[in-house]
Chains A and B, each alone.
Chain A
Amino acid sequence: EMQLLESGGGLVQPGGSLRLSCAASGFTFASYAISWVRQAPGKGLQWVSSISGSGLSTYYGDPVKGRFTISRDNSKNTLYLQMNRLRAEDTAVYYCAKGLPTAVTPFGAFDIWGQGTLVTVSS
């Protein structure tokens, strides 16, 4: 069974840092793009960042560009999100999600999701 399991969330002060992890199992991790999606309390889904299977291509949403870094260790089947200079508006449940490649792009719909990890930015 294909699974993703996030960890690393918690309470952090504004301006602080946190690193999220996403452990994958049940599929060939290095073959797929993986993304981070967040959901603020009571709000909708927001795409945060994506990384190709090789790790060579990365993309970020404007709200996190320059503050967050996505990376992966294919030898450990693990995805990371390093979050620096955190703000109150970064408070959310963070999900990792596996991409379903198409004939045109490896960055397709998210077919497998983790259960999410909560990040709270507050003093």
Chain B
Amino acid sequence: EIVLTQSPGTLSLSPGDRATLSCRASQSVSSNSLAWYQQKPGQAPRLLIYGASSRATGIPDRFSGSGSGTDFTLTISRLEPEDSAVYYCQHFDVSPPWTFGQGTKVGIK
């Protein structure tokens, strides 16, 4: 089973700041197989990034994904108040289980 470890656990930043979220896999993951989601309280998750770096439909370009192998990054270039949420990574490598990371909570000061 591939374990995804996200860091930091919590991030508190100001509007306009740059947020950098990390997702580290316990073994190499195909870049086609890494996704990022945003979840706000009381809502279902929303797909932000798939294939490590492709933005999903309707996602603002301030969200970007990068990385390969075991290290992946979600960057929010200019934080806005509505970006306050928990962010999860997930892999879809060859075999299940298709695990999620434990999440990074982003708060806006």
Bound-complex Cα distance A103 to B33 (A): 11
Whether a CB of chain A sits under 8 angstroms from the CB of B100 is: yes
Cβ contacts A15-49/B at 8 Å (1 or 0 each): 00000000000000000000101000000111100
Q: Is the CB of A105 within 8 A of B92?
A: yes
Q: Which of A44, A45, A61, A109 contacts B92 (CB 8 A)?
A: A109
Given A44-B102, A102-B32, A104-B32, decide whether A109 and B50 contact each other with a Cβ distance below 8 A: yes
* B44, B50, B86, most chain A CB atoms within 10 A: B44
Given contacts A109-B50, A109-B90, A109-B92, contact A47 B44 (CB under 8 A): no
Q: Which label, helix, strand, loop or mixed, suits the secondary structure of the B interface?
A: loop
CB distance from B74 to the nearest CB of A (A): 13
Q: For the side of the interface on B, what is the size category?
A: 20 to 34
Q: What is the bound-complex CA distance between A61 and B96, given in angstroms?
A: 8
Could you tell me if B98 and A113 are in contact, using CB atoms closer than 8 angstroms?
no
**What 0/1 pattern do residues 64 to 107 of B give for CB contact below 8 A with A?**
00000000000000000000001010101010111111110000
- Report the separation of the CA atoms of residues A114 and B97 in the bound assembly, to the nearest whole angstrom: 21
A-B CB proximity, top 10 nearest: A109-B35, A109-B50, A113-B44, A59-B96, A45-B100, A111-B47, A44-B103, A47-B98, A61-B97, A44-B102
